[in-house]
Amino acid sequence: FRELGIRAPDRYLGAGSGTQAEQTARIMLAFEPVVAEEAPDAVVVVGDVTSTVACGLVAAKAGALLAHVEAGLRSRDWTMPEEVNRVVVDRLADYLLAPSPDAVENLRAEGYREDQIHLVGNVMIDTLFANRERALAAGTLAELGLAPGGYGLVTLHRPANVDSPQSLAPLISALTKVSGELPLILPAHPRAAAALRELVTTDRIRLIPPAGYLDFVALQAGARIVLTDSGGVQEETTALGVPCVTLRDNTERPITVTEGTNILAGRDPARIVEIAQRVLADPPAPRRPALWDGRAGERIAEVLLSGGTAATRLRPTDLA
């Protein structure tokens, strides 16, 4: 909050860690009294994390209007907890605030009414553009002894990639080969740090502690290539014009492939190496989707202020 100049939250739910069910239950128990006390006209939930679905359930049961930012994204991978969260929250929501045309098409295909669907752009890009210059001026690369374009950046945190050595070891093998082309910087996610320290055996892959937001934006902007399993990084690299190779078999952000700088490589080591080498030799031209212009928040505010009340709007299961 301090780093981005955001004031402290008025309420802190303090749910802590645990299983999906434990976290969901704790968040709901903590959020329900807040909704009862504040009686909000609308509740806005963002993304696809556990708090998104937990707070969405509480808001819907309380009768408040529910707005889902990043509505309509689909990976088509039902093993991902995030995919379940997306589908559940979209079903509960009065306002489906989609970041891209593919998300709009997903929502239409699933039968949502046109009055629920709003193409607003990407709020993550709002944050990125608002802080990009400050991030670039922070001296992050110099502190790490890096030069722009002189390294690749890696992030790994998806359970399917890091929770077992059988999944992680082949990825590290591929990254080791890529590091022969240029050194790689890997901020170690806490869930993977111990395994990474054991599996990374070359000094061409440099493990560093997790980076703060501004530092990480600087690392992305200065990288010659980014290899990641993160959905948000796929979006940020597209906005920054940096080549991205996604180490997943699917993506809920296909617009970063069709209208951005992202290539979906999967998890086969040989394919990862081949694609990375190709990108390094012939990087994609920078391009950015429409409405990724830093003004998504303004469009969302307009939707909420002009959309009516719970008493005057059709609700999620009403028929037009």
pLDDT of residue 160: 87
Q: Note whether 20-122+294-306 and 126-281 share their fold.
A: yes
Nearest to 132 by CA among 230, 237, 231, 234: 237
The pLDDT of 190-207, averaged and rounded, is: 93
Nearest to 116 by CA among 82, 76, 81, 89: 89
The pLDDT of 154-174, averaged and rounded, is: 92
pLDDT of residue 311: 95
The pLDDT of 242-265, averaged and rounded, is: 96
pLDDT of residue 287: 94
CA–CA dist 113, 103 (Å, integer): 14
Helix (H) and strand (E) counts for the chain?
A: 14, 10
Which one-letter DSSP state was computed for residue 114? G
Percent of the residues in the chain that have a pLDDT greater than 70, as a whole number:
100
The structure tokens listed for 142 are: 């110099």
Q: Could you tell me how far CA 259 lies from the centroid of its own chain?
A: 17
pLDDT of residue 139: 95
Sign of the torsion angle spanned by Cα atoms 312, 315, 52, 49? negative
Residue 87 has pLDDT above 90, yes or no: yes
pLDDT, tens digit, for every residue of 112-157?
999 999 999 999 999 999 999 999 999 999 999 999 999 999 999 9
Residue 241 has pLDDT above 90, yes or no: yes
pLDDT of residue 24: 97
At the top level of CATH, the class of 126-281 is alpha beta
The pLDDT of 156-173, averaged and rounded, is: 92
Q: Which residues is 245 bridged to in the sheet?
A: 227, 263
CA–CA dist 248, 274 (Å, integer): 15
**Residue 229 amino acid letter:** D
Residue 310 has pLDDT above 90, yes or no: yes
Q: Using DSSP, state whether 279 is helix, strand or coil.
A: helix
What residues are annotated to the active site?
A: 157
pLDDT of residue 159: 86
- Indicate the average pLDDT of the chain: 96
pLDDT of residue 191: 83
pLDDT, tens digit, for every residue of 264-299?
999 999 999 999 999 999 999 999 999 999 999 999
b/e per residue 195-205 (b: at least 16 CB within 10 A):
bbeebbeeebb
Taking phi over 0 as left and psi of -120 to 50 as alpha, with beta for the rest, 139 belongs to left
Nearest to 48 by CA among 306, 291, 260, 253: 253
pLDDT, tens digit, for every residue of 10-65?
999 999 989 999 999 999 999 999 999 999 999 999 999 999 999 999 999 999 99
Task: Give the start-end residues of each E strand in 70-160.
Answer: 95-98, 117-119, 152-155
Return the CATH number of the domain spanning residue range 20-122+294-306. 3.40.50.2000
Domain segments of the chain as ranges: 20-122+294-306, 126-281
Residue 258 has pLDDT above 90, yes or no: yes
Q: Using DSSP, state whether 270 is helix, strand or coil.
A: helix
Residue 235 pLDDT level (bands cut at 50, 70, 90): very high
